[in-house]
A = this chain, B = another copy of it.
Amino acid sequence: MSMTNPTTLSAAQPAANAAALREDMSIRAKLVETTIDALLPPTKGGDARLIEAMRYATLGGGKRLRGYLAVETASLFGVSEQQSARVGASVEMLHAYSLVHDDLPAMDDDDLRRGQPSTHRKFDEATAILAGDALQTKAFEILAEPATHTDASVRIALITAFAAASGAAGMVGGQMIDMEGEGRALPLDEVRHLHALKTGCLIRYSAEAGAILGQADAELQRRLRSYGANIGAAFQIADDVLDATATAEELGKTAGKDEASGKSTFVALLGIDGARAEAERLTKLAIEDLAPFGAKADRLKALAYYVIERRN
């Protein structure tokens, strides 16, 4: 997908920055991976199988979009990667718990996750339920530890924003609305609201987390929060477009699944061109949010393109 109206962008934008972003995402995905590995070491006692399931659910790949956002936004304020990678690992653990529970037979009943057996297929349902539960606990525990930030009030601010983004008024609330909406046509504003909660809140938190960790002033914190909300919304619309246009080979999973299941998607509501235009509009808003950061935010700008240009 090419941008139809790239006038709001810095001249150097697409090619060079996209290449830099890819390299940076790969480096930071490894950093987050290593951090999760260290925070969740394998054990030999009675909890060995539980820890193994938690590791299975969290390690071994993915783009680490949420972890990347936390580390990259924190770097705008000179926060050490030792600290920001912990916040990145924490949000990836929470994201992983939500996927483990979402894949359960009583929920979406998915046997595969990134081409591998989902956690309840690899282990069993009870282990998957408990591993998800313990991953959520661990995600909060990591934020509370002094290694995340020396100032307890900063850790409290992270925990507060994290809980708001992931609980009944955030991610879990969105999953519930999604489940209840299955099989009936939702209007556009409800689809927007559902996704703002289900995937948007945690992506927004990830961008905001770097600002909290960096003790940014209220205006910069608001800017990054808005940036996160905008790319989160664009991300979901791009997902719908991908489902409707990409091949199964590109996606690594069944394509056209949304239409087949009669889900209320942005593509169903706006058409493919309309959905693309909406994603581009949100991307531009996200880039405008970054204005005060200048060239320091070039990678975050490239990321705003990346979420709508990716093919998987």
Using CB atoms and an 8 Å cutoff, list the residues of chain A in contact with chain B. Answer: 46-47, 49-51, 54, 97-98, 101, 104, 106-107, 124-127, 129-130, 132-134, 136-138, 140-141, 144-145, 152-153, 155-156, 159-160, 163-164, 166-169, 172-173, 175-177, 179-180, 190, 193-194
Contact = CB atoms under 8 A, between A and B. Distances in A.
A152 to B, nearest CB: 4
Residue among A104, A156, A164, A176 with most chain B CB within 10 A: A176
Contacts of A180: 46, 49
Contacts of A138: 163, 167-168
B125 A172 contact: no
B104 A129 contact: yes
A46 B156 contact: no
Nearest to A160: B144
Contact of A172 (B49, B137, B164): B137
A179 B160 CA distance: 33
A141 B164 contact: yes
A98 B134 CA distance: 11
A126 B144 contact: no
Nearest to A153: B152
A259 to B, nearest CB: 23
A25 to B, nearest CB: 28
Given A138-B167, A141-B167, A172-B50, A126 B160 contact: no
Contacts of A164: 141
A51 B167 CA distance: 11
Given A54-B168, A101-B130, A152-B153, 11 more contacts: A104-B106, A106-B125, A129-B129, A130-B172, A130-B179, A133-B136, A137-B166, A140-B140, A141-B159, A141-B167, A152-B156
Given A106-B125, A136-B137, A176 B144 contact: no
A295 to B, nearest CB: 35
Contacts of A101: 129-130, 133
Contact of A107 (B126, B140, B156): B126
Contacts of A153: 152
Contacts of A137: 136, 163, 166-168, 172
B193 A46 contact: yes
A138 B136 CA distance: 12
